[in-house]
Amino acid sequence: MVGSFGVSLLFGTFVAMQADSQMDRHKINTIAVYGSHDTLRLTDDVAALLTALAEHGVDLYIETPLWEALSQAGIPEGYPQMRLGGETPYGDIALSLGGDGTLLRAVHKLRDVELPIWAINCGHLGFMTEMEPQEAWHHLDDLLAGQYSIETRTLIDVSVAGEHVGTALNDLAVQKRETGSIIKIRADLDGDLLAEYAADGLVVSTPSGSTAYALSLGGPIVTPQCQTLLLVPIAPHTLNMAPLIFPDTSVLTMRVSSLHPTFSIVIDGNLRVYDCGVEIVARKSDKRAHLLRLSHKPYTQVIREKLLWGRDLR
């Protein structure tokens, strides 16, 4: 038995699909493989999934760090379909093997090409992943035959001082950099003043991210199909600053003032530091994340299983 790792695979020829629609049958020929730098060991289940794909005649192109980990585990031996590949994502379908962090990483890498991602949980909670690796290989025939649906998810584009600085599947957090005092954030919605928040920060979330940082701050769960965004204050100085749901057609503009000269923006876990006073703009992206679904598990079942929704824990 070898340990766990985060890895993403990209497949064949993409056919654009609407959310939850059925994809035409097609032959999957090529997979580009990339993995995380955190844990590069493999579980038996993940190794079995990779070898099964190779045995189905699918070519696997693997980036250098993951290739080295696979080589140490002896996985590529005897499988000419497994080979060293480059960093550029290409193909048609992405398979993310890891937790939600691996899925977020795959979404960011694939943003410009919008490849569908099948997310298999090799991490901990894996809220946005679809199934465990020991289940995944049972679905390979359907996958390779193109018998799956695509669920689209909203992304948020973030710009600072007029420059695009990132795209979020989950959320962006505008936060103070030092712990001694709060910051003030002026927030305007579609050019109209919303409020001046005195708080440790603000989280702007997609429906997908409503079960992440925003939920821990007391925000509501928003189902992925809702065409909304969510604004949740972090430790507000007053009790009348409640979470706000607003249409995803709106544009949110923010400016930070603080005793400290700088503040931070965290986009899906990636931190950047900026000078106070710059304009921050958050809006729905023209791009979308595409999640591949084979199990067709309803979202209500996901929150019951992952969040123990409605369960009596007394």
CA distance 256 to 185: 5
Tell me the pTM: 0.85
Confirm whether residue 73 is marked as ligand binding: no
Q: Say if residue 167 carries a ligand binding annotation.
A: no
From residue 50, give the alpha-carbon distance in Å to each of 23, 28, 75, 142: 23, 14, 8, 16
Q: Please indicate if the annotation marks 101 as binding a ligand.
A: yes
208 is in an annotated binding site: no
Low-confidence ranges of the chain (pLDDT < 50): 1-25, 37-40
**How confident is the model at residue 8, as a pLDDT?**
47
Task: Give the Cα separation of 41 and 69 in Å (integer).
Answer: 6
Instruction: Report pLDDT for 137.
Output: 81
pLDDT tens string 49-58: 878 888 888 7
Residue 35 has a pLDDT of: 64
Q: What DSSP assignment string belongs to the chain?
A: ----EEEEEEES------BTEEPPP----EEEEEEEEEEE---HHHHHHHHHHHHTT-EEEE-HHHHHHHHHTT-STT-TTEEE--SS--SSEEEEEESHHHHHHHHHHTTTTT-EEEEEE-SSS-TT--B-HHHHGGGHHHHHTT--EEEEEEEEEEEETTEEEEEESSEEEEEESSSSS-EEEEEEETTEEEEEEEESEEEEE-TGGGGTHHHHTTPPP--TT--EEEEEEES-SSTT---EEEETTS-EEEEEE-SSSEEEEEETTEEEEEETT--EEEEEEEEEEEEEESS---HHHHHHHHH-TT----
Contact criterion met (CB below 8 Å) for 82 and 47: no
Whether residue 242 is annotated as binding a ligand: the answer is no
Q: Which residues are catalytic?
A: 100
> Beta strand pairing status for 59-62 and 82-84?
parallel
Rounded CA-CA distance 230/216 in Å is: 13
Q: Per the annotation, does 170 bind a ligand? A: yes
Closest to 125 in 3D by CA, of 99, 163, 144, 98? 99
Q: What domains are defined for the chain?
A: 30-148+294-307 (3.40.50.10330), 156-285 (2.60.200.30)
Instruction: State the Cα–Cα distance between residues 233 and 152, nearest whole angstrom.
Output: 27
- Determine whether the annotation assigns residue 213 to a binding site: yes
**pLDDT given at position 195:** 96
